Structure 1
Amino acid sequence: MNARQVIEIRPAHPSRDGDGVAIQRIAGMGHAGMDPILMVDELRSNYREDFAGGFPPHPHRGMQTLTYMKAGGIVHQDSQGNRGEIRGGGAQWMSAGRGIIHSEMPTQDTRGLHGFQLWVNLPAAEKMSPPRYRDVPAAELATLDGGHFSATAVAGDWQLDGAALRGPLHELAERAGVLDVHLQPDGTLGVAAEAGHTLLAYLYQGSLAVRGQRVGPQQLLVTGPGDGWTLQAGPEGAEFLLLAGPPLGEPVAHYGPFVMNTQAQIEQAIRDYQAGEFA
């Protein structure tokens, strides 16, 4: 095996988005090592005032979102007439394509919330495609118990210590794979990696050993080339998201909720939204 090595560690930064929602954010707009992942947000608080305002209606164009909830509930509604509610363990996927307006609001009974939102880029040829949406409840996600680890696959095909696992969200799988892993204290896990594909780990609990040092939560590990990666947990174990996908290698122009390839396309997106063409 040509083992992958961690070539960069990117820390999350506290931020607020939507109606004052507290998040930890890693932005990767145009970052070659993260392509096609554009952004990783972690939402985690036991206090409703940190997320009660949610994300009121706002537009998107040119990218995909994946919301994956560990605890609490979120309701999605959009200008295409879609509505979906997920609770702890469920996922919601949306491809904004040429334009959509959506909202994501916490359910009234949610007192503590823990979840993630990922932004995944669309290639230039698909940025003006029709919007799409799908929610996947926790019971439909694929799981694997490897003894020293457990894993939940949202999207993509994974090989974990030689065992295969496939996520049900095939709509996202062509562009990105998403896997949630719990690794036992001091445990190791071998992950197969497709040549040329991006492979990342976002650590949200515990620690991982990297180059003889312990890396703590709210950090993203970026790997270099190779066909496999061995991750080792620290003495308290590790919980992390694995993210993978083929890099697009295309220019990224970004303004707020719009992700296109040129500034002219961004300006057109703003004009189209202001003209009511997203509704």
Structure 2
Amino acid sequence: METQVKQIVPAHPAADGDGVKIQRTSLFNQPVADPFLLLDELGSDNPEDYIGGFPPHPHRGMETLTYLKQGSLTHTDHMGNKGAISSGGAQWMSAGRGVIHSEMPAREQQRLHGFQLWINLPASQKMQPPQYRDIERQQMTEATLGNGGYATIIAGAWQLNQQQYQGPLTTLAADARYLDAFLPAGESLSVSLPENYTLLAYVYQGQLNTRISSGSQMLVVIDHQGTADIHATQDSSFLLLAGQPLAEPVAHYGPFVMNTSEEIEQAIRDYQNGTLAL
């Protein structure tokens, strides 16, 4: 059965950090994507496109999950955390009331390909203490999908082809779930979720069904009714994201995500006077 597409959100070329070139899908004004806020894809074999990295910058009120297919990144923050991930690894950071951190690529690498996802924090958690964790490739949960298909489970609980899997990250906001899958042409995947959960697909290679293609640079909101049947018309690699909608107002400015404009103004003042991360 053809997967029903609720909404298509296009990606756009952008730059962030010290000139890092990305494909950005902004979800801030897309209630059907709640609790997800942003998805950036970084992919280049030209170091000039990414070597500047992301020098120290602040966040408040949201979480980031960075997943690398190829390359390496080093994280440092004001709390004294320092960690590096390489191909197949992930970094999770819950900014809470405030984090100042940097994410820098290794200078000797010749390719960087990865994704950064922003997840909204509920109002009750936006001012909680920040948290951080690295997940190495060998800590991921692997799922065999049959006939050459497979998935790497990064976060949350998934039911795939009626089999249950649990990723190493279990404490993301809004019960957010994240996996990276590959399906050969002609193969299908059944995904079961609570009916009210948001389900997003981002194809970075190949084509799913007849509408979801890597060449279109888009994030697709799937109308799953509790079960989504995903079919690969080409050999396809894709991300699936799922989470429980928060149904709360979103106010954002740059790296700050709160519920009201007054809270955003306070975050800016706190950063300017040096108290954001205290």
Both proteins in one fold, TM over 0.5: yes
Q: Distance in 1 between matches of 2:26 and 2:151?
A: 25
Q: Distance in 2 between matches of 1:227 and 1:99?
A: 36
Instruction: Name 1:60's counterpart in structure 2.
Output: 59
Q: Tell me what 2:241 maps to.
A: 243
Q: CA deviation at 1:227?
A: 0.8
Shift of 1:30: 3.6
> Within 5 A, what are the aligned runs for 1:48-197?
48-148=47-147, 149-172=149-172, 174-197=174-197
CA RMSD of aligned residues (A): 1.5
What residue in structure 2 maps to residue 198 of structure 1? 198
Distance in 1 of aligned mates of 2:6 and 2:117: 21
Separation in structure 2 between the aligned mates of residue 92 and residue 169 of structure 1, nearest angstrom: 10
Q: Equivalent residue for 1:268?
A: 266
Aligned partner letter, 2:247 = G
| Distance across 1 between alignment mates of 2:192 and 2:68 | 25
TM-score normalised to structure 2 length: 0.95
CA distance in 2, matches of 1:142, 1:101: 30
1:87–1:214 Cα change, 3 Å: closer
1:21 corresponds to which residue?
A: 20
Hey, which bits of structure 1, 4+ residues long, moved more than 6 A? none
Separation in 2 of the partners of 1:157 and 1:7? 23
Distance 2:212 2:115 in 1: 23
Give the counterpart letter for 2:182 in structure 1.
H
The 2-side partners of 1:84 and 1:30 are apart by: 33
2-structure distance, mates of 1:132, 1:214: 34
Q: Name the CA distance, whole Å, in 1 between partners of 2:248 and 2:224.
A: 19
The alignment status of 1:220 with 2:219, answered yes or no, reads: yes
Q: Partners in 2 of 1:174 and 1:33 — Cα distance?
A: 14
Residue 173 to residue 260, structure 1, CA distance change in 2 (3 Å): closer
Question: For this pair of structures, how many residues does the alignment match?
Answer: 275
CA deviation map 1:136-158 (0-9, x unaligned): 00000100122231000110111
C-alpha distance in structure 2 between counterparts of 1:138 and 1:144, whole Å: 14
Cα offsets for 1:65-109 (capped at 9, x unmatched): 000000000000001111110000000000000011000000122
Instruction: Give SS of 1:249's match.
Output: coil
Scaled by the length of structure 1, what TM-score is found? Answer: 0.95
Corresponding letter in the other structure for 1:76? H
CA–CA separation in structure 1 for the residues paired with 2:156 and 2:68: 18
Q: In the alignment, residue 249 of structure 1 is paired with which amino acid? A: A
Instruction: Describe the superposition over 1:163-213 as per-residue Cα deviations: whole angstroms up to 9, x where unpaired.
Output: 211101112175310010001112111111211000010111111114xx4
Matched, 1:10 2:9: yes
